[in-house]
Amino acid sequence: MFCEQCEQTASGQGCHQWGACGKSPDVNAVQDLLVHCLRGLSVVAIAARQQQISTQDADLFICDALFATMTNVNFDRKRFVTMMRQAITLREMLKLEVQRRSNRPTVWPEICNYEPDWSESLIEQGFAKSLTMLQKAGNPDIFALQLTVIYGLKGMVSYAFLAAELGQEDPEIYYFCEQTLADLDRSDLQLLDWVNLALKVGELNFRAMELLDRAHTETYGHPVPTPVPLNPRQGQAILVSGHDIKFLAALLEQTKNTGLTVYTHGELLPGHGYPKLKENYPHFYGHYGTAWQNQTKDFAKFPGAIVMTTNCLMPPHDTYDEKIFTVGSVGYPGLIHLPIHGGIPDFGPAIAKALALPGFTVTDPPRSVTTGFAHNAVMTVADTVINAVKAGQIRHFFLVGGCDGAKPDRNYYTELVEKVPDDCIVLTLACGKFRFFDQQLGEIGGLPRLMDVGQCNDAYSAIQIALGLSQALGMEVNELPLSMILSWYEQKAIAVLLTLLHLGIKNIRLGPTLPAFLTPNVFALLSERYNLQGITTPEADLAACLGS
Ligand code: FSO
Ligand code: SF4
């Protein structure tokens, strides 16, 4: 097998025997074959559109299917085989339609006629179609950028898919995705063409995050700073994890008269900031556990049912596999996958399970964190922020955002936040914050020193805050007293990084390790252009950011 799409990749050199995430070579093979089928479907979809044939079904299917191939989303081989068959069916239907409108027989490239030999093992067939085959150009730097493009594309479609669930779509995102999938093995592109394509992924990902922000805020209101209890309260309970705010809302609706208390886990913590969710559902109570890599411990202890709406799912232990449910793009063999009707999941089986489990027997002593410092909330206090900056009360902003992971060198982020001087503000987003999200950093002039902007997709919000500051202070974004110190794990973080580079943001520090798929030459090129750099030590990086 070959996979190096996440930071956890084996020995920093790619997973070749078995995925460090738990993905088997068999599942990896069907994912590779699915991506190959999606590339063929994309070529046909582009041709179909040229004939004014609607490709709506294919467009959304490609996003959904690519989303499923991301790290820690879906480990269910059968689901990938089903998706592959769906891709081939959609492709053949579109081909027929193209043929019907043409007066000459269409000659399709080989990739548009591909179908695996279902009677043979798919492992070898998967390897034959894996991304390693792109290396045929023989240039490792171009291969690195081809991987950057496809991995970034996966992150982008995951956001586009979540936005589409809430009715926000931009066909240009789908068309770009299909064109890029179709072009992935182009041999006429030079190194800088691939760099530009990677930046284009960042541009379209910005659009996808913007759509998702609009989808969330138009449906559930602009997030407001909201305290979230971290102490469990007595009673039966259900835990919901992932990023899908629409599914969180549906779960709240379906549990409202059951007596269950709803807790968020992982990237759903910022869900508490949405006024229409908080106000309408008093049983939407608190947050349980920390980042995804601690779930085997957290889920085992949770005395209720658990629903995973997106990544990050780890292979479940048998101590809790009977109480965990998957929905949407997520899957794991043996776990119950909840059906979706008319876009709304049926949480019935998970609710029944939660009602059969004991729940929390006591209420723990109060403990809380505050979330909801998204762009609207921060910009409503913009005057206070600007005045504090001008008066020298706020010396610097640190955006410490991104994903968490299991490696010990991620302690860097906790130490950095602990060492940030008292006259500086820390903005955070995504699941990396769970290492420090409950720290009491105090206030500056009534503003909290630690503000949670939201999920990884709320990088959009952080960008809006930076743009707002730059306008109010009359400075370019790169001149602001703002440093971005990011942690990455999976492909959404790659998409977000490409967005920041597309916007021309310089001096980003990235860790805990640099992506295995980037060659030294490609990294040097990005460093030269954007001063992108790896993290070093908290002390040295803080000193460099503060110019001291
Ligand atoms: Fe984390 Fe997982 Fe949000 Fe990722 S829960 S690691 S970048 O899926 O998406 O931050
Ligand atoms: Fe390895 Fe990450 Fe791929 Fe899993 S997703 S197989 S850990 S590189």
- As beta bridge partners, residue 307 has 240, 325
pLDDT averaged over every residue in the chain: 96
Please write the tens of the pLDDT for every residue from 407-451: 888 999 999 999 999 999 999 999 999 999 999 999 998 999 999
Residue 133: what pLDDT?
A: 86
% of the chain residues with pLDDT over 90: 96
Answer left, alpha or beta for residue 325, where phi above 0 means left and psi between -120 and 50 means alpha: beta
Residue labelled with tokens 């979230």: 228
Residue 93: what pLDDT?
A: 98
Instruction: Decide whether any atom of ligand 1 lies within 6 Å of the 312 Cβ.
Output: yes
**Which ligand sits closest to the CA of 71?**
2
Q: How far apart are CA 68 and CA 154, in angstroms?
A: 9
Instruction: Give, for ligand 2, the residue of 21, 26, 491, 517 to mutate: max count of ligand atoms closer than 8 Å to Cβ.
Output: 21
Instruction: Decide whether any atom of ligand 1 lies within 6 Å of the 496 Cβ.
Output: no
Instruction: Decide whether any atom of ligand 2 lies within 6 Å of the 130 Cβ.
Output: no
Closest atom of ligand 2 to 14 CA is: 8
For the question of whether the overall pTM of this predicted structure is more than 0.75, the answer is yes
Q: How far apart are CA 179 and CA 46, in angstroms?
A: 7
Q: Which residues contact 194 (CB under 8 A, 6 or more apart)?
A: 142, 145, 146, 148, 149
Pairing of strands 237-241, 305-308: parallel
Query: Residue 547 C-alpha to ligand 1 middle, in angstroms?
Result: 31
Q: How far apart are CA 466 and CA 381, in angstroms?
A: 14
Residue 104: what pLDDT?
A: 87
- As beta bridge partners, residue 324 has 306
Query: Residue 482 C-alpha to ligand 2 middle, in angstroms?
Result: 32
Please write the tens of the pLDDT for every residue from 250-276: 999 999 999 999 999 999 999 999 999
Residue 1: what pLDDT?
A: 92
Instruction: Decide whether any atom of ligand 1 lies within 6 Å of the 266 Cβ.
Output: yes
Q: Which residues contact 481 (CB under 8 A, 6 or more apart)?
A: 389, 394, 395, 396, 397
Query: Residue 501 C-alpha to ligand 1 middle, in angstroms?
Result: 20
**Which ligand sits closest to the CA of 458?**
1
Instruction: Give, for ligand 2, the residue of 3, 11, 18 to mutate: max count of ligand atoms closer than 8 Å to Cβ.
Output: 3
Residue labelled with tokens 């955070």: 428
Please write the tens of the pLDDT for every residue from 218-257: 999 999 999 999 999 999 999 999 999 999 999 999 999 9
Query: Residue 475 C-alpha to ligand 1 middle, in angstroms?
Result: 32
Query: Residue 312 C-alpha to ligand 1 middle, in angstroms?
Result: 6
The three-point CA angle 541-547-548 to 5° equals 85
Whose CA is closest to atom 5 on ligand 1?
312
Omega before 431 within 30 of 0, i.e. cis: no
Query: Residue 155 C-alpha to ligand 2 middle, in angstroms?
Result: 15
At residue 282 the predicted structure's pLDDT band, cuts being 50, 70 and 90, is very high
Residue 11: what pLDDT?
A: 84
Please write the tens of the pLDDT for every residue from 57-76: 999 999 999 999 999 999 99
Closest atom of ligand 1 to 491 CA is: 7
CB atoms within 10 A of CB 354: 27
Average confidence (pLDDT) over 201-206: 98
Query: Residue 491 C-alpha to ligand 1 middle, in angstroms?
Result: 9
Instruction: Decide whether any atom of ligand 1 lies within 6 Å of the 67 Cβ.
Output: no
With 0-12 / 13-18 / 19 or more C-beta atoms within 10 angstroms meaning exposed / middle / buried, residue 155 is: buried
**Which ligand sits closest to the CA of 265?**
1
| Cα 418 versus chain centre, distance | 26
Q: Name the residue type at position 92.
A: E
Q: Which residues contact 221 (CB under 8 A, 6 or more apart)?
A: 274, 275, 276
Omega before 448 within 30 of 0, i.e. cis: no
Residue 52: what pLDDT?
A: 96
- Sheet strands (E) in 375-481: 396-402, 424-429, 443-444, 447-448, 450-454
Average confidence (pLDDT) over 123-132: 91
Whose CA is closest to atom 6 on ligand 2?
19
Instruction: Decide whether any atom of ligand 2 lies within 6 Å of the 154 Cβ.
Output: no
Instruction: Decide whether any atom of ligand 2 lies within 6 Å of the 9 Cβ.
Output: yes
Residue 137: what pLDDT?
A: 62
Query: Residue 517 C-alpha to ligand 1 middle, in angstroms?
Result: 19
**Which ligand sits closest to the CA of 490?**
1
Instruction: Decide whether any atom of ligand 2 lies within 6 Å of the 6 Cβ.
Output: yes
Q: How far apart are CA 283 and CA 394, in angstroms?
A: 38
3-class secondary structure per residue, 296-322:
HHHHHHCCCEEEECCCCCCCCCCCCCC
Query: Residue 100 C-alpha to ligand 2 middle, in angstroms?
Result: 42
Domains defined along the chain, listed by start: 1-137 (1.20.1270.20), 226-356 (3.40.50.2030), 380-546 (3.40.50.2030)
Instruction: Decide whether any atom of ligand 2 lies within 6 Å of the 23 Cβ.
Output: yes
pLDDT for 136 beyond 80? no
Check: CB of residue 99 under 8 Å from CB of residue 105: yes
With 0-12 / 13-18 / 19 or more C-beta atoms within 10 angstroms meaning exposed / middle / buried, residue 186 is: middle
Instruction: Give, for ligand 1, the residue of 267, 287, 435, 453 to mutate: max count of ligand atoms closer than 8 Å to Cβ.
Output: 267
Please write the tens of the pLDDT for every residue from 372-399: 999 999 999 999 999 999 999 999 999 9
Please write the tens of the pLDDT for every residue from 108-122: 999 999 999 999 999
Query: Residue 455 C-alpha to ligand 1 middle, in angstroms?
Result: 8
Q: Which residues contact 121 (CB under 8 A, 6 or more apart)?
A: none
| Cα 489 versus chain centre, distance | 9
- Cα maximum dimension of the chain: 75
Residue 406: what pLDDT?
A: 87
Query: Residue 317 C-alpha to ligand 1 middle, in angstroms?
Result: 21
pLDDT for 480 beyond 90? yes
Task: Choose among 177, 31, 66, 48: nearest CA to 112.
Answer: 48
Closest atom of ligand 2 to 71 CA is: 5
CB atoms within 10 A of CB 525: 18
Query: Residue 425 C-alpha to ligand 2 middle, in angstroms?
Result: 34
Query: Residue 313 C-alpha to ligand 1 middle, in angstroms?
Result: 10
Q: How far apart are CA 126 and CA 31, in angstroms?
A: 8
Q: How far apart are CA 454 and CA 437, in angstroms?
A: 12
% of the chain residues with pLDDT over 70: 100
